[in-house]
Structure 1
């Protein structure tokens, strides 16, 4: 693993604010909502040389450059499971009437002795069903491989399985899925926060850039159509 020793301006995986705005200059989204857990919230320690913001707040800032009237709702809570998100957050998101809606990928459902992947998939599917009724463009992430819980020796297998579920549901519901499992940023030794779980703000900056790139691809497909 290698140390970044980078700043936001020199990071090869980050785009500068004007460049991100240029990619989304014709973005139609005016109501951006985020639900879920700490990954959705953008929780993470500050990194020297990077703006101290999570990916979701960064994306809202970028969208406001092209849509100054953007309405933004983020109900994500650290530690929230899929079931808790369904119980406490999805209704509020639907009432918000988003046209861009970010969904969690079940990270906290894995932190138990024996995860029930059938039940996890059922709850995630229900979340996608409800979210899709808003007509919003849906987005999500897969979990990165730098995120490790040593107490579970099969942790990588658990993450691989939940990532497969996420990819399949995203494809079915035409959601944007930013695949952080394969991203080379995982090799940076200073990527994680002190808790060794959450991406620091250097990683949050990269996640925001990857989301911008993925949304720009959606816009280009729409333009061609």
Structure 2
């Protein structure tokens, strides 16, 4: 494990702010007791920070489907106003999947965002993107994703950010690490990633991941049935939303829009009696 990279602000406050899209909102790690009906790796990181060092505050501004431009316009200034000591950012993944994205222009905007965050003095954590093996239809995006990852690594080094190189995590080749849409992590995936983030930050934690047996082989008939179900339940609705110009995040608000003091025991669920879920 790395040396602990976290330190309190000048006034002793420890504030963690998470920025991004569905990856950071927690989609795939479902919990009806929490805002927006999800939990996710960022909540798990916040809870472990509070267990290791009580007093941490936490805000999560991430909303599913947001593009980089939305994160800059809607999340940057509110995050800086909270005077965070720790910031995690994953942004641009939805743009990479969009047809017609200029990856070089995108990464200029990405660096602008990281520069603003780093200038706050907070510890900044960045992520590369995983090459999700969803369908041969997405294989042409691999080159764009490779450019994205290389630029993220360069930006992380330039601004002395902590890099969580998600692209390198072989554990995510196991289909059980993914939700049924094959694009978002499952509960197990979010849990694993939380442990990786905490390890990179040098924080002692109690996140334990499953020690699975190898996945069972799937016969051709079952594979075809799963493919049809995936297309029906996820691919067709996704294209229908694109045609209508709507996203799953349009009616949602940030899960934790203002810093909350994370209870060192019982976690964030302890707060939901006074924070409505949607």
Shorter-normalised TM range:
0.7 to 0.9
User: Which residue number corresponds to residue 26 of structure 2?
Assistant: 42
1:149, 1:131 → 2: CA distance? 35
1:88, 1:150 → 2: CA distance? 34
Are residues 1:108 and 2:94 paired? yes
Are residues 1:203 and 2:189 paired? yes
| Per-residue Cα deviation, 1:85-128 (whole angstroms, up to 9, x for no partner) | 00000000000000100112410111222220121111101101
Deviates more, 1:74-83 or 1:60-69: 60-69
Are residues 1:193 and 2:172 paired? no
1:45, 1:76 → 2: CA distance? 14
- Matched-pair contact (CA < 8 Å) for 1:143–1:159: yes
Residues 116 and 149 (structure 1), Cα distance of their counterparts in 2 relative to 1, 3 Å cut: farther
- Matched-pair contact (CA < 8 Å) for 2:28–2:184: yes
| Per-residue Cα deviation, 1:160-186 (whole angstroms, up to 9, x for no partner) | 111111111111111111111111112
| Per-residue Cα deviation, 1:119-150 (whole angstroms, up to 9, x for no partner) | 11111011011101210000021112235465
User: Which residue number corresponds to residue 229 of structure 2?
Assistant: none
- Matched-pair contact (CA < 8 Å) for 1:100–1:136: yes
| Per-residue Cα deviation, 1:39-88 (whole angstroms, up to 9, x for no partner) | 122221459xxxx8311000000000133211101000101111100000
TM-score between the two structures when normalised by the length of structure 2: 0.64
Query: Per the alignment, in what secondary structure is the counterpart of residue 139 of structure 1?
Result: strand
2:80, 2:135 → 1: CA distance? 33
User: Which residue number corresponds to residue 119 of structure 1?
Assistant: 105
Gap runs ≥5 in structure 2: 9-13, 32-37, 204-278
- Matched-pair contact (CA < 8 Å) for 1:105–1:163: no
- Matched-pair contact (CA < 8 Å) for 2:29–2:190: no
User: Which residue number corresponds to residue 57 of structure 1?
Assistant: 43
1:105, 1:174 → 2: CA distance? 18
- Matched-pair contact (CA < 8 Å) for 1:148–1:155: no
1:208, 1:85 → 2: CA distance? 22
Residues 86 and 149 (structure 1), Cα distance of their counterparts in 2 relative to 1, 3 Å cut: farther
Are residues 1:31 and 2:15 paired? yes
Query: Per the alignment, in what secondary structure is the counterpart of residue 162 of structure 1?
Result: helix
Residues 33 and 149 (structure 1), Cα distance of their counterparts in 2 relative to 1, 3 Å cut: farther
User: Which residue number corresponds to residue 174 of structure 1?
Assistant: 160
Query: Per the alignment, in what secondary structure is the counterpart of residue 101 of structure 1?
Result: strand
2:135, 2:97 → 1: CA distance? 8
TM-score between the two structures when normalised by the length of structure 1: 0.78
Deviates more, 1:64-73 or 1:75-84: 64-73
Gap runs ≥5 in structure 1: 1-19, 218-225
Q: CA deviation at 1:27?
A: 4.4
User: Which residue number corresponds to residue 55 of structure 2?
Assistant: 69
Are residues 1:99 and 2:85 paired? yes
Q: How many residues align?
A: 191
Query: Per the alignment, in what secondary structure is the counterpart of residue 66 of structure 2?
Result: coil
Residues 41 and 54 (structure 1), Cα distance of their counterparts in 2 relative to 1, 3 Å cut: same
